[in-house]
Amino acid sequence: MNEQRGAGSTSQHHVPDYRYHTLVVTVENKSGVLARLAALFSRRGFNIESLAVAPTDDERFSRVTVVVDLESAPLEQIIKQLDKLVNVVNIRELHPGHAVERELMIVTVAAGPDRRDELVEQLDRAGGKVLSVGADAMMLSLVGPPPRVDEFEELLGQYGIIELQRTGRVALANLDEDD
Amino acid sequence: MKMDGGQALIRALELEGVDVLFGLPGGAILPVYDPIIDSSIRHILVRHEQGAGHMAEGYAHATGRPGVAMVTSGPGATNIVTPLCDAHLDSVPMVVITGQVPYAAIGTDAFQECDTTGITQSVTKHNFLVSDAQDIPRTIKEAFHIATTGRPGPVLVDIPKDIVDPDSPRSTLEWTDDVEMDLPGYSPQADVDPVAIAAAADLIRAAERPVLYVGGGILKARAAEALKELAELTGIHVVTTLMARGAFPDSHDLCLGMPGMHGNFTAVTAMQESDLLIALGARFDDRITGRLDGFAQAAKVIHVDIDAAELGKVCRPDVAILGDCRVAIEALVADLASNGVGGADRGAWRSRVSGWQERFPLSYEQAQAGDALKPQMVIERLRDATPDDTIVTSGVGQHQMWASQYWSFEYPYTWINSGGLGTMGFSIPAAIGAKAGCPDKMVWAVDGDGCFQMTAQELVTATVEKIPIKVALLNNSYLGMVRQWQEMFYDERYSEVSLSKDVPDYKGWAESMGCVAMRVDSPEEVDAAIAKANEVDDRPVVIDFRVAAAEKVYPMVPPGASNSDLVVPPSQQDQQR
């Protein structure tokens, strides 16, 4: 799975990763809606790669960015079944390569004083930030396109990851592109 | 106008035109039962909540109006989960009201608390947990709208006690007659795409071996008349699935009857050999297709469905038409009437079809003198002794298949059964619901002995509420369909399928529930017993027909096999296919 997720990460341009599709689902901001989405995915055997939920600028609605695994079900079935949920207002498919996708990672890495300079240099190059420094560890954050976050996560392996949390991706369609 | 939530709930149901409510009260729903005393709605007190749900389904099937059931929280709610799932799979419009513990107590494991909306999420089209009394009228309106539009289905409304209890300050609300629905994510599409209609009409004109494959959706769309027009205009044969029996008259020259696992040879084979399947409100269920990669391999497919997710779910259609079946059929008829039905030569196909009909009619071995009664013969006699518009309900198993095969359905909405979920015990409560909705029609429940023992207690309801249904119990003292599978596919190793021949005493049991009851052992007694049952109109009747235990349902597509490998009855096995 990680192998797939990392595909294309060496390229400057985002190489479409057709196994995973990103859906932006606008739902009514009501209790139980997330459970309905989760129950649907589970009941129909659709696998989710990541899921991020937050309110929108309109308090009646929330926005769910869900990355679905197309090996588990055809995209068309996933969209149509989602659309049947009464609380789902709108579904937008973000075509691979035609959207801006970001993910936040925060991570605690084992790094004594002797390795910190080197780590910070790598972090700067990736565009990340130091959040906190302890005796033998540092806490870092990185926001970026998911493949770049993957790449950085892999690089941190050589230091020793103590704890790591990623948000799952959020996405918007590119400007000036017909959806 | 100020009122309390309980009054508002009943008032909202009255405004939806509800005339019958099936239910059973309990702690959490108590406050709603008080205003029922003053309501015009007839409440039918069931003996088990599952009965209420199936009655609501039977009512909906027979009348086309949504069935409504009301039960209490906890076990009341869980007991109605099976009917909800049944209605969900068979697209039956139904609204179920459940009581819930007071809003503030939700999540505390209070007495008779369960997570009703959580439990029923995957078996309803939608459900609601109402948190404020003021939301009751709008929610009821939304529930009926969702249940009855688009692809119909069950909707559950969970009502915490404190918003309906007049002693609670949270139950007061301001009633207004016009409430606006707020469903931004719900907009079913009924209109059809004219481009798709034109493409479908072209396929129909060109087809040499077309078949109209008609499912339950045709009945939900009230499209039986439009279907007849389409069939007669084009001369195309019709198969009616288990959920669509009656949508096209069995006596019609173009009717081939039921396809599927226990469909007749001609219906199954015509689909299998077809070059164009016109699927109308049908969903390519596994019981219809048999092994999917061996199904109707030469056929192009036109698929009409109001549920977009059905288009392409199992079978990739050449032309997909999203929308209401009746609207789609009428548009097809208009196109074919004005642009012609085409000149494809269907003569050879017609003679193949009639050849199959001659060589492979539905058949069973007649009982010889001294043999046990044949269940198929009971169905035939019952069919011949009752009016054409008799409503027949069934449970699930062999008796269901025989009823569907050997009855002759001439009118829509006369056949009510549990197709998708296959719920044993469906027939008696469904018959009660149908009779409550259509009191002027004769209603017969065809039941098996396994099924009967699951829901027979509702005959008490039928007696007390004066709902005179009739039950033809095909009693073979077996779980017959399971027995048939064990005989055919498990080397005749019979595991846990034998029900006792001696207990219960069905006649005595039925009489104790207030029914007229008879027991029939021999073929000579059949007609007289049916005639006697047909004369009773003030209480339910049960006839315990003691039928042959080893009888099997034929034809049969073995599980996992292709429809081309249909097993015909022994008497036809040497026939040239």
Q: Helix, strand, or coil here: A172?
A: strand
- The identity of residue A174, as a single letter, is N
Does the domain at A100-173 match CATH 3.30.70.1150? Answer given as: yes
- The identity of residue A98, as a single letter, is H
Round to whole Å and give the CA distance between B70 and B32: 9
Per-residue pLDDT of chain B (577 residues; tens, 9 = 90+): 999 999 999 999 999 999 999 999 999 999 999 999 999 999 999 999 999 999 999 999 999 999 999 999 999 999 999 999 999 999 999 999 999 999 999 999 999 999 999 999 999 999 999 999 999 999 999 999 999 999 999 999 999 999 999 999 999 999 998 899 999 999 998 899 999 999 999 999 999 999 999 999 999 999 999 999 999 999 999 999 999 999 999 999 999 999 999 999 999 999 999 999 999 999 999 999 999 999 999 999 999 999 999 999 999 999 999 999 999 999 999 999 999 999 899 999 999 999 999 999 999 999 998 899 999 999 999 999 999 999 999 999 999 999 999 999 999 999 999 999 999 999 999 999 999 999 999 999 999 999 999 999 999 999 999 999 999 999 999 999 999 999 999 999 999 999 998 899 999 999 999 999 999 999 999 999 999 999 999 999 999 999 999 999 999 999 999 999 999 999 999 988 8
The verdict on B53 and B105 lying in the same domain is yes
Structure tokens at B118: 């959580």
| Average confidence (pLDDT) over A52-59 | 92
Q: Is the pLDDT of residue A179 over 90?
A: no
Residues of chain A contacting B122 with CB distance shorter than 8 Å: 39-40, 43
Q: What CATH number did the domain enclosing B8 receive?
A: 3.40.50.970
Residue of B nearest to A78 (CA): B309
Helices (H) and strands (E) in chain A, counts: 5, 9
pLDDT at A17: 54
Residues of chain B contacting A88 with CB distance shorter than 8 Å: 185
Residue of B nearest to A32 (CA): B118
Q: Which residues of B are catalytic?
A: 49, 111-112, 161, 481
The verdict on B226 and B136 lying in the same domain is no
The verdict on B534 and B389 lying in the same domain is yes
The verdict on B170 and B211 lying in the same domain is no
* Partner-chain residue, chosen from A39, A40, A86, that has the shortest CB–CB distance to B185: A86
The interface residues of chain A toward chain B in range 26-55, judged by CB-CB distance below 8 A, are 27-28, 31-32, 35-36, 39-40, 43
Q: Could you tell me where in chain A the CATH 3.30.70.1150 domains are found?
A: 100-173
Strand residues in B268-416 grouped as ranges (E)? 276-280, 300-305, 319-322, 391-394, 415-416
CA distance B357 to chain A (A): 39
The verdict on B47 and B144 lying in the same domain is yes
The verdict on B165 and B24 lying in the same domain is yes
Round to whole Å and give the CA distance between B303 and B193: 13
Round to whole Å and give the CA distance between B108 and B101: 10
Q: Is A164 on the interface with B (CB under 8 A)?
A: no
Question: B46 — alpha (psi -120 to 50), left (phi > 0) or beta?
Answer: beta
* Partner-chain residue, chosen from A28, A84, A90, that has the shortest CB–CB distance to B309: A84
The residue assigned the tokens 């996933």 is: A78
How does the average pLDDT of chain A come out, rounded? 87
Residue of A nearest to B184 (CA): A89
Q: How confident is the model at residue A11 (pLDDT cuts 50, 70, 90)?
A: very low
Quote the number of domains for chain B.
3
| Average confidence (pLDDT) over A111-135 | 94
CA distance A54 to chain B (A): 18
Residue B309, domain member (yes or no): yes
Residues of chain A contacting B138 with CB distance shorter than 8 Å: none
Residues of chain A contacting B129 with CB distance shorter than 8 Å: 31-32
pLDDT at B577: 84
- Among A45, A56, A52, which residue's Cα sits nearest to residue A67? A52
Domain that holds residue B228: 194-359
Give the rounded distance of the alpha carbon of B331 from its chain centre: 27
Please judge whether A86 and B146 are an interchain contact, meaning their C-beta atoms are less than 8 angstroms apart.
yes
Supply the ipTM of this predicted assembly.
0.90
* Partner-chain residue, chosen from A76, A86, A90, that has the shortest CB–CB distance to B312: A76
A–B CB contacts, 8 A cutoff, strictly below: 42
Please judge whether B186 and A28 are an interchain contact, meaning their C-beta atoms are less than 8 angstroms apart.
no
* Partner-chain residue, chosen from A31, A39, A76, that has the shortest CB–CB distance to B122: A39
CB-based contact B552:B558 (threshold 8 Å): no
The verdict on B199 and B157 lying in the same domain is no
Residue B181, domain member (yes or no): no
Count the neighbouring beta carbons within 10 Å of the beta carbon of residue A43.
12
Please judge whether A86 and B186 are an interchain contact, meaning their C-beta atoms are less than 8 angstroms apart.
yes
Please judge whether A28 and B185 are an interchain contact, meaning their C-beta atoms are less than 8 angstroms apart.
yes
Q: Which of B333, B359, B385 is the last residue of a domain?
A: B359
Residues of chain B contacting A84 with CB distance shorter than 8 Å: 307-309
Which helix (DSSP H) or strand (DSSP E) does residue A166 occupy? Answer: strand A161-166
The verdict on B409 and B527 lying in the same domain is yes
CA distance A109 to chain B (A): 40
The verdict on B19 and B73 lying in the same domain is yes
Cβ neighbourhood burial of A127 (10 Å; 0-12, 13-18, 19+): exposed
Residues of chain A contacting B312 with CB distance shorter than 8 Å: 74, 76-77
Chain B residues whose C-beta is within 8 A of a chain A C-beta are 117-118, 121-122, 125-126, 129, 146, 183-186, 307-309, 311-313
pLDDT at A98: 84
Please give the backbone phi and psi of residue B73, each rounded to the nearest 5 degrees, phi first. -75, 180
Cβ neighbourhood burial of B202 (10 Å; 0-12, 13-18, 19+): middle
Please judge whether A88 and B125 are an interchain contact, meaning their C-beta atoms are less than 8 angstroms apart.
no
Q: Which of B113, B140, B174 is the last residue of a domain?
A: B174
Sign of dihedral through CA atoms B39, B42, B44, B49?
negative
Q: How confident is the model at residue A178 (pLDDT cuts 50, 70, 90)?
A: low
| Average confidence (pLDDT) over A22-31 | 94
pLDDT at A20: 85
Please judge whether A89 and B184 are an interchain contact, meaning their C-beta atoms are less than 8 angstroms apart.
yes
pLDDT at A10: 35
* Partner-chain residue, chosen from B146, B185, B308, that has the shortest CB–CB distance to A80: B308
Residues of chain B contacting A32 with CB distance shorter than 8 Å: 117-118, 121, 129
CA distance A170 to chain B (A): 22
Task: Write the DSSP string, B471-495.
Answer: EEEEE-SB-HHHHHHHHHHSTT---
The verdict on B238 and B166 lying in the same domain is no
Q: What CATH number did the domain enclosing B299 receive?
A: 3.40.50.1220
Q: How confident is the model at residue A177 (pLDDT cuts 50, 70, 90)?
A: low
* Partner-chain residue, chosen from A31, A35, A86, that has the shortest CB–CB distance to B126: A86
Give the rounded distance of the alpha carbon of B493 from its chain centre: 32
Q: What are the C-alpha distances in Å from B535 to residues A162, A179, B108, B469?
A: 82, 68, 55, 12
The verdict on B215 and B163 lying in the same domain is no
Residue B249, domain member (yes or no): yes
Please judge whether B184 and A43 are an interchain contact, meaning their C-beta atoms are less than 8 angstroms apart.
no
Count the neighbouring beta carbons within 10 Å of the beta carbon of residue B102.
17
The verdict on B207 and B114 lying in the same domain is no
Structure confidence by residue, pLDDT tens digits, A58-98: 999 999 999 998 888 889 999 999 999 999 999 999 887 78
Please judge whether B313 and A77 are an interchain contact, meaning their C-beta atoms are less than 8 angstroms apart.
yes
Q: Is the pLDDT of residue A12 over 70?
A: no
Structure tokens at A151: 């790449």
Residue B104, domain member (yes or no): yes
Please judge whether B184 and A28 are an interchain contact, meaning their C-beta atoms are less than 8 angstroms apart.
yes
Residue B572, domain member (yes or no): no
Please judge whether B185 and A81 are an interchain contact, meaning their C-beta atoms are less than 8 angstroms apart.
no
Residue B463, domain member (yes or no): yes
* Partner-chain residue, chosen from B117, B126, B308, that has the shortest CB–CB distance to A83: B308
CATH superfamily of A18-95: ACT domain (3.30.70.260)
Structure tokens at A163: 């704890």
Structure tokens at B69: 């059931």
Residues of chain B contacting A77 with CB distance shorter than 8 Å: 309, 312-313
Structure tokens at B259: 């396809």
- Among B83, B123, B22, which residue's Cα sits nearest to residue B424? B83
Residue B558, domain member (yes or no): no
Q: Which of B140, B174, B208 is the last residue of a domain?
A: B174
Residue B472, domain member (yes or no): yes
